[in-house]
Amino acid sequence: MDHVRAKEKHVVWCAAVALFIAMFCHPGMIRAESYKVLTPFLIDLEGWKAEEPEGMQMEQPGFRMINAVRSYSKDDGEVTAMILIGNTAASGFAGEIAKMSVDSDRGKMELKEIDGFQAYLLYDKKENSGNITIILCPGESGQAIFTLSFEGMDHEEGLKIAKSFDWKSMKKKIESMK
C-alpha cells in the first residue's frame, strides 16, 4: 500500500469537504468547541498503528465547522476515521433513511439503520475499499457524522472496525455542545 498516496488522498478529501461546507452552510450552528474535545473518540485500534489525531475548526460569520481525523494502518490495510460537525454534515441524508441496497460487479451501496443510527455504506469491490458514514446528529443545526474510510479490506471488516468506535458517546458529546 502506498502510504504517501493514501495520505495525499485523505488531505485532498478533507479539504474538499471543508470547502463544500464553507460554501453551503448557513447560520444556526452549535457553539464553538475545539476539535480537541472530539479526538478522545478516535480510539486506538488493537493491532493497528495509529497516527496522532488531527483536526480543525473553521469559523466565519454565521458558520463554524469542526472535524477530528485519525489515520490507522496495518499490513496492507488503511483506515481513516473522522468526526465532522457542521450544518451540512448530514444534509445528504435528510428525512427518514430508506432501506435500500445496490449490488453490482463494481460495487455495493447500502442505506440502512445500524444500532439505532442511520448509515450509508459504500464499497468498491475492485479497489477493495469503501466508506461507512454514520449520522450522529441529523437536523437543521448541529449536524454531525462519523465516517470511516477503508482500503485493503472488504465492507464487512470495515463495518466491524467502524463499530469499534463509540457512536453513542460521540452523539452525547456533540449534543452537549449545542
Q: Which amino acid is at 23?
A: M
Q: Which amino acid is at 154?
A: D
Q: Report the alpha-carbon distance of residue 175 to residue 143 in Å, rounded.
A: 10
Q: Report the alpha-carbon distance of residue 88 to residue 121 in Å, rounded.
A: 19
Strands 117-124 and 107-114: antiparallel
Answer for the pair 97, 118: CB distance below 8 angstroms, yes or no.
yes
- The per-residue pLDDT for 24 is 41
DSSP 8-state secondary structure symbol assigned to residue 149: E
Whole-model pTM: value is: 0.78
| Residue pLDDT, tens place only, 51-101 | 999 999 887 776 778 999 999 999 999 999 999 988 656 555 544 455 678
Answer for the pair 141, 28: CB distance below 8 angstroms, yes or no.
yes
Query: Residue 134 pLDDT > 90, yes or no?
Result: yes
Query: Residue 150 pLDDT > 70, yes or no?
Result: yes
Answer for the pair 150, 158: CB distance below 8 angstroms, yes or no.
yes
Record the cell numbers describing residue 173, joined without a space.
458529546
- The per-residue pLDDT for 55 is 93
Answer for the pair 123, 133: CB distance below 8 angstroms, yes or no.
no
**Helix (H) or strand (E) segment spanning residue 145:** strand 144-151
Considering the chain, what percentage of its residues have pLDDT values greater than 70?
Answer: 70
Of residues 20 and 126, which shows the higher confidence score? 126
Q: Where are the alpha helices (DSSP H) in the chain?
A: 3-24, 155-162, 167-176
Q: Which amino acid is at 109?
A: M
DSSP 8-state secondary structure symbol assigned to residue 4: H
Q: Report the alpha-carbon distance of residue 23 to residue 33 in Å, rounded.
A: 21
Which of 43, 30, 5, 7 lies closest to 139, judged by CA?
Answer: 30
